[in-house]
Structure 1
Amino acid sequence: MRISELSRRSGVSIPTIKYYLRDGLLPAGRPTAANQAEYDEQHVHRLRLIRSLIGVRGLSVSATRDVLAAVDEQQGDVHLLLGLVLGALPVERSGRPPRRDGDAEPDDAGAAAGDVAEDVAALAAEMGWKTSPNPPAAQVVAETLETMRALGMDYDWRSLVPYAELADRAARLDLDQLRDAGDPLQQAERAVLLTVLLEPALLALRRLAQEHHSALRFGNG
């Protein structure tokens, strides 16, 4: 297909496509003339993934380039590919997932959070979850627990088990919706859209459900 057709099918403008080509985010097409090239379905999927990473997930062009470099190296590993595009796995500037060789650097400040980190590990073990070492999401959970404790709430990993069970069901639903996307780039794009775009709606649904059950329990009829 010509670049005009590529633009129409991907939803990305021609000037932006040319910018991605110059910047190395999009591989060049097959030359057919001095200033013309042919593009294929992989270019369509790649552009849609770029659009999702930048426009939906909010990554910078530089960060997107790093993610795509890692994606290119992991085309045969869908599990790792999804971890990279969703941010479950951090990406080095080289485009490779960072090594995890027990390179954590404990210090006095980190020791205070050690118990909370152990709580997160205990929660994952309780759920039977297999995750990468020190995933960013686990850090968010640990920081939240630490803040709640600092505010005087008696809250530990056991309190999160019912929520983790709900999250586990939601994750299964997310991945079920990737089955129709056979191409890894399509799966990566759909995973970004399902994760980032649905999160505000899931929070809003929780608020609606809270209002409903509050009315049932405490309302005056």
Structure 2
Amino acid sequence: MKISELSRRTGVPVASIKYFLRQGLLPAGRATAATLAEYGEEHAQRLRLIKALTTLGGLSIAATREVLGAVDQAHSSESALGAVSYALPVPVAAQGAAGQEEEAGADATAGAEVAGLLTELDWQAPVTSPHVKGLTAALEELRRLDAQYAPGELAAYARLAESVARLDLERAAGLDDPVALAERAVIVFAICAPVFELLRRLAQEDQVRRRVAGAARGGDAAPR
């Protein structure tokens, strides 16, 4: 297909396609003339991934290039998923205005809590994982606000997250191609995560309304 057709199929403007070609994000097409080239389905698939990384994931061109390189070198679906997961921004709680000494103590306590949680759950995640660091920072902020979770409460939430993670990976089952899998991963991380958070808030709204209604009737509304 010509570059104009590639643009129509992917929704990526011709100018953007040419830019991605110049930046080395998109492989060159098969030359048919001095200034013409043909592109195949692999280019369309690659463009969808680039679009997902830059638009949904919010990655820079440099970060996108690194992810694409990791995906190209991935020897398994797990390594392709890992490349995307580590590249996308990690949710981190806003840092408080505590003093350095207090922050150091909170960091040690939160770090120990996260390490204990991973051990209890038997989750395989290195201490260098950005998600471990992000969770540690979030627990630090909860402690600063005096709203931290007790270890048992945090584990209960983690078990729910584990169930969601299984569902996420089941949706990706059968995708052996690293590029297709990476595209799905970006969609799951960037779009499905907000959807899940909205479902959680809707569930909270439902529970609050049921409890208010139950109190108005003079009884407790048993949560479902």
Q: What is the TM-score normalised by the length of structure 1?
A: 0.83
Aligned to 1:13: 13
Return the offset for 1:194: 1.6
Aligned to 2:182: 188
Native 8 Å contact 2:3 2:39 kept in 1: yes
Aligned to 1:79: 78
Give the counterpart letter for 2:28 in structure 1: A
Change (3 A) 1:69 1:111: farther
| Separation in 2, partners of 1:156, 1:128 | 19
| Separation in 2, partners of 1:6, 1:193 | 21
Match of 1:124 among 118, 136, 148: 118
Return the offset for 1:180: 4.2
Superposed CA deviations along residues 146-201 of structure 1, whole A, max 9, x for unmatched, are 12222223534332111111111111111111124332101110111122111222
Aligned to 1:100: none
1:116-195 equivalent positions in 2, closer than 5 A: 116-153=110-147, 155-195=149-189
Match of 1:202 among 196, 204, 207: 196
| Separation in 2, partners of 1:14, 1:155 | 51
Unaligned segments of structure 2, at least 5 residues: 90-99, 218-224
| Separation in 1, partners of 2:197, 2:61 | 28
Q: What is the TM-score normalised by the length of structure 2?
A: 0.82
SS in structure 1 of the partner of residue 210 of structure 2: helix
Identity within the alignment, %: 45
Change (3 A) 1:180 1:77: closer
Q: Which runs of 4+ in 1 moved over 6 A?
A: none
Greater radius of gyration (CA): 2
Provide the aligned C-alpha RMSD in A.
Answer: 2.2
Tell me the matched-pair count: 204
Unaligned segments of structure 1, at least 5 residues: 91-106
Native 8 Å contact 2:56 2:187 kept in 1: yes
Match of 1:215 among 209, 213, 223: 209
